[in-house]
Amino acid sequence: MQKHPPPSITGSILVVDDNNVNRIMLSRYLGRLNYEATLVENGQQALEKLQDEIFDLILLDVQMPEMDGYQVLEHLKADPRWRDIPVIIISAVDEIESIVKCIELGAQDYLHKPFNPVLLRARLTACLERKRLRDQEVEYLRQVSLVTAAAAAIKANTFELESLDEVARRDDELGQLATVFQEMAHQVYAREQQLQQQVQQLRIEIDQTGKAREVADITESDYFQHLLGKADELRNRIKGNEEDAMQGNAAKKLDNEV
C-alpha cells in the first residue's frame, strides 16, 4: 500500500466484518491515517457497540452471519441516535441490486473488496467532512433554539442570563446576537427592578396617605368634635377648680398670718 499523509479530519470508525484478515487490514490502514478503529465481526456486535459508544463513521460488510449488512442498515435507519452516522459498504458482492439496496437503506458509499486504499481514503475524508458540517448545522440550530427559548423566558419573567452564556461565546453573528440579547435582558431586568421599587414606594406613600385621610375623617367628624368640646369643657372645669383651690389656700394662709 502507498503511504499518504494523515487526513486533516480524524474520527472514530466502527469496522464491521466477519473476516478477521479484512478487519486487521482495515484497522492498520485506518491507524496510519490517524483514525481510531473499533473492530467487530457481525451486525449484532455492531449494534451492541453502538449502544455504548459514539462513532463518526461505520465501515460495513454485507455478507455476515447472525445479522447481515442490510439488517444493520435497517436498524441504523430506524434509530434516531444512529441514522445520521455515515456508512460506507465494503463488500465482495458487486451486483448492482446489492449496491442499490444499500444506498436505499442509507449507506453513503459502496466499495468493492479488495478495497483500494486511495479511494477509501478519499471516501472517508468526504463522508467525515459531510458529517462534520451536518453536526455543525445541528449544533447551530440547537443554539438558535436557546435564543428563541430565552425570548419566551423573558416574556414569562423566567429568563436567566447564564442560559445564553454558551451561545454568547460564539464568534459569529449568532454569538453577537446572544450577547446583545443578554445586555438587553439585563437592562430590562434592571428597569423592572427599578419599577418594582417605585411601585413599592408608591404603595407605602398611598398607605400613609390613606391612614392620614382616615385620621382626618375621624377628627373632622361631628362626633369627634363633640367629644373634643366635652374634653375642653372638662379641662376648663378642672382648671377652674384648681384656681379656686389655690385662692382658698391663699386666703387661709393670710388669715393665719393675721
Q: What CATH number is attached to the domain comprising 16?
A: 3.40.50.2300
Cell reading at 142: 440547537
3-class SS letters over 13-33: EEEECCCHHHHHHHHHHHHHC
- Residue 39 sits at φ, ψ, to 5 deg, of -110, 130
pLDDT surpasses 50 at 72: yes
Q: Is residue 154 part of a domain?
A: no
- Domain range spanning residue 132? 12-136
pLDDT confidence band for 2 (50 / 70 / 90): very low
- Which of 3-7, 58-62, 134-138, 251-255 is predicted least confidently? 3-7
Q: Is residue 26 part of a domain?
A: yes
Cell reading at 50: 453502538
Number of domains in the chain: 1
The helix/strand/coil state of 239 is: helix
3-class SS letters over 134-170: HHHHHHHHHHHHHHHHHHHHHHCCCCCHHHHHHHHCC
The helix/strand/coil state of 244 is: helix
Q: What per-residue confidence (pLDDT) applies to 251? A: 55
Q: Is residue 248 part of a domain?
A: no
Taking the C-alpha atoms of residue 243 and residue 246, their distance in angstroms, rounded to an integer, is: 5
Q: Is residue 55 part of a domain?
A: yes
Q: What per-residue confidence (pLDDT) applies to 197? A: 79
Amino acid identity for residue 237 in this structure: R
DSSP state of 12: E
Which residues are bridge partners to 39 per DSSP?
Answer: 15
pLDDT surpasses 60 at 166: yes
Q: What per-residue confidence (pLDDT) applies to 143? A: 86
